[in-house]
Each structure stands twice: as structure tokens, then as C-alpha cells.
Amino acid sequence: MNTVRSAWRSLQAELVKAWRPSTVVTMGLLAALSVLSTVLVLALADDPSGGTPGPRPGAGDGPSGFDVTTDQLAAASGIARGFAGGSTFTGLLIFLVVAIAITLEYGQGTLRTLFLREPRRLGWLAGRLVLTLALVTAALIAALVLSVAAAVAVAGVRGIDTSAWWSADGARALATSYRNALLAATCFSVVGTALGVVLRSTAVTLAVGVAWMFPLEHIIANSWTGATRVFPGLVFDAVGQGGLVDASYGSALAVGGAYAAGAVAVAGLALARRDVTS
């Protein structure tokens, strides 16, 4: 019960920080990435009827591939293609912001002062995670709305039929894409928090997290298809895209959930056992 009260007080305290301009800027960047992804997907789609070569065999068959045709975009799921296609970029942004925010708490001495007044560290961590996920949830809703608006605008310019978008199937496609994006963002934010708690240095955390989960994992995946089912960054990306050829949605969700749960456990253990000043 004391931990629950501590988590609630931590949530209230962290909520004050959420109104800083940096939070608004971050949410704006996330929305901008979703809009950019949507514009690129619709603007670069091949138009078979216009004589433009279609996509490569097998391309665009995934739920959010950038290599699509205007015929595929005219389907009910086309309304969500752009938003789902940006899940990798939004995941990277969320990871960066969360990791930097946590490590700055150490660098500026905020946590040392905080824990002198509130020694229940796990309660603080729980409140921090809850607020982070609440902000991510709100930011993704705004990003989804702007993505749909951008999709309608670009579809009008390109002459793509959007009548199927406003059906029940279209609504389900949007809901599914939002769910997948939120799950992937949750995994990225939890891992970013855990790395920040364990490593404490902004430079080291970003070097380890970004270098491994983005370029290195993708390089390894070029020669080993199993990497998509094992490495965290690729697994989270598969969740955000609703599954890939080399990683089904169910297996990616299970592995991603295991990574997130492990990250929470490691962060809690490190926060409770290690001295804040070390």
C-alpha cells in the first residue's frame, strides 16, 4: 500500500514536469514523423494504371510496407498504411526522449534530492512509467489524427479512391494500427527507461541503445533472418508493423513483452540496490 501511495505521489510530481515546453515539442515531433511517413507512403505509391512499374514481387504485401500501389492504398486498410509505416521512426524518437529524460535526472542530481524525501524508489519508478505511457498514448492519438488528415489530402491530390477508408474495415484497420504502434512504443519506452536507470550516462545510454537496436541489428538481419525474431529493436518494429514475413505478430508480441517485463525487473533491481550517487 505504501508503494502504491508513493507511485501516486510520484505520478503527481512528474505530471508537473509534463507541462514543460520540451514535452510539447516532443509530441509535435512524433506527430510530424507520422505525417511525413504518411505523405511518403501515398506520394511514392506506384500507379499501375498510369504505366508506372508496379512493386517488386512480394513487395508491399506486408501490413505497412512503403513499397505499395495505389490499388492497395484504395483498400480499407490503406487509411492506416502511412501511420503504421512510421512506427520505426516514432519508436526511435520515443526511445531517445525517454532515455535522455532519465539520465538527466541522474546528471542534474534530481533523483538524489528526491530520494532523500521519498525513499520508496520503486514507487517513483512506477509513477514515472505510468506517466510516460500516458503521454505516449496521447501523443499517438494526435499523430493518428494528423496522419489520417494527411492521407486524405495526399489521396485527393493523387486521385486515390478513399471510399473504402470510411467503412467498418477501415475503422478496424486504424484501431489495429494504433494498438500495434502503442504496444511497440511501450516496449521502446520501457527499454529506454531501463537502460537509462542502469547506465545513468546520457552518452553511454544512447551509444548502446541506438547503435545496437537500429543500425547494428539491421546489419545483422541482412545476413541472418532469425534476427528479426530475437533482437529487441527488430522485434518491437515487427510489433508496430503488425508482423513481418520473418516474424509473425504473435511471436513478436510475446518476445517483445518478455523484453519489456525483463527491462522493468532490471530497472527496479538496479534502482533499489545501487546507490544513487555512484
Is 101 contained in some domain? yes
Structure confidence at residue 66 (pLDDT):
57
Is 89 contained in some domain? yes
Instruction: Pick the more confident residue, 193 or 49.
Output: 193
Is 158 contained in some domain? yes
* Number of domains present in the structure of the chain: 1
Is 56 contained in some domain? no
Q: How far apart are CA 110 and CA 16, in angstroms?
A: 14
User: Is the entire prediction scored with pTM above 0.85?
Assistant: yes
> pLDDT tens digit string along 124-134?
888 889 888 99
pLDDT at 163 over 50: yes
Is 51 contained in some domain? no
With cut-offs at 50, 70 and 90, classify the pLDDT of residue 56: very low
pLDDT at 221 over 50: yes
Domain that holds residue 170: 2-46+61-273
Is 54 contained in some domain? no
In the predicted model, what is the mean pLDDT of residues 171-187? Answer: 96
